[in-house]
Chain A
Amino acid sequence: MNSMQGISSELLDLLHLEDVEAAVLFRIDGNVVESTFKNKYSQEMLRTLQWCKTNVEKVSLEMRTNNLNKVTYELNDFCVLFSVVNKVTVLTTLATQNVNLSLISIETKRKSQIISNYL
């Protein structure tokens, strides 16, 4: 298994959690390193994802400046969780607002650590 397949399978694991709609590994400039989505996705979700892509640079800069490991946003009926993987990448988990926030928070953090070993 190469590193990208490894990252991809870790993202898929996140997607198996209830209410998680997408998991994306962003580079801090907004480029997508790897992503997974639920088969059926809405326009609203794509809009939220576009917001993530545009703002990941700003968010990651904020996280770095204030030494934050994870940040949660609620917008467009979605809950977005950014978690630092390494200096260059950020793991983003997108879920509906009914999601068990504690669970995805723990899982995203755990997956970030695993993914960092691939990079």
Chain B
Amino acid sequence: MTATERISSGIEGLDTLLHGGLIKNSINSVVGSSGTGKTTLALAYVYQGLLEGDHILYLSFEETPSKLIAEAESLGIKIRDIARNYNDLIHLVESEKIVEFMTNILPSLAQKLKHKNIKHTRIILDPLTPILWEFPSEKDQRKVLTKIYHHLSSLGTVLQTVEEPNAFGQTDIGNAETRVPIYLSDSVIHIQNLGLGGKYNRTCKIIKSRKTAHYEGIFPLKFIYGQGISIDTNSIPKAMNEIEAQDVRYLELMRKVKEMSKDKDPKKRIIAQIAKNLLGDRYEKEQEDNLELVDVLTNPQILQEVKK
């Protein structure tokens, strides 16, 4: 199996849900109704790209660059501090030029950028919905989007926002207006806001993610000043989040403990029980403590003393 190269989304928790971030040169959709945080998520993605030195191509179909920057700043996402001339990053595509832009200008722009030898580009289409409205039939949508995605994915990693046309608080991810982009995307992130308050009021769910064994279920989401959006992934066992869970010493130790727990010698069984209890708490401990614990339990001298 070949390892897939991934990039950070810039959203706390999202990379964990996607096992390391968005796949490079993939098409990613963020689906949600109005006010769920789609644009904020896109702005956090831009900010992360700027921090990593990526080229940014933000195509806005609704809001002006200055409005988007103001929105980012209201949440503490300081894009202006890194990119002084944000007009080079964010481009407003006027509604009457959408068809021409998507069918002619964008493919040639993609070609130009390719020739410039830019390492990696983060492309944002925010929101994709006006494009879908220009092509009411699903067949046409598929045709146009396939062509656009082909050009854009050769250029970089695409993040597009798709409006879920429902009444506030209601959701229907599979409705006609979102079907084609969901079908064509490599990954789909569904964000919801029920508007009733509480921890599970705003949530994030990974609907699909190709080449990724992503986490299932809904995860609480909240707006945080400075980061934009944060996803609470505390319900995922910590050890699964950390590379240490794959630590060969840890796996070897677990195998030894299992063997010892079946041993005829009651002393060995007691030692195995102690080790099990200690390792059971491992999930609750901090990363450094975990490593220390594995160090202690793999040290033959210490084990000898415990046996004595």
Contact = CB atoms under 8 A, between A and B. Distances in A.
Nearest to A30: B171
A28 B218 contact: no
Contacts of A5: 235
A33 B220 CA distance: 10
B200 A27 contact: yes
Interface stretch (B40-48, B175-183, B190-198): B190-198
A88 B198 contact: yes
Nearest to A33: B200
B62 to A, nearest CB: 27
B235 A32 contact: no
Contact of A4 (B171, B197, B235): B235
B234 A119 contact: no
Interface in A4-31: 4-5, 27-29, 31
Contact of A88 (B170, B194, B205): B194
Contacts of A112: none
B280 interface: no
B24 to A, nearest CB: 30
A87 B198 contact: yes
A13 to B, nearest CB: 18
A88 B201 contact: yes
A31 B235 CA distance: 15
B300 interface: no
B192 A29 contact: yes
B235 A119 contact: no
The listed residue with most A CB atoms (<10 A of its CB), out of B171, B234, B235, B284, is: B235
Contacts of B199: 3, 88, 119
Interface string A72-106: 00000000000000111100000000000000000
Contacts of A32: 217-218
A119 B205 CA distance: 18
Interface string B226-251: 00000000110000000000000000
B200 A119 contact: yes
B218 A33 contact: yes
A2 interface: yes
Contacts of B235: 2-5, 34
27 contacts: A2-B234, A2-B235, A5-B235, A27-B194, A27-B203, A27-B218, A28-B196, A29-B192, A29-B194, A31-B203, A31-B218, A33-B200, A33-B218, A86-B198, A87-B196, A87-B197, A87-B198, A87-B201, A88-B196, A88-B197, A88-B198, A88-B199, A88-B200, A88-B201, A119-B198, A119-B199, A119-B200
Interface of A: 1-5, 27-29, 31-34, 86-89, 119
Interface of B: 170-171, 192, 194, 196-201, 203, 205, 217-218, 234-235, 284
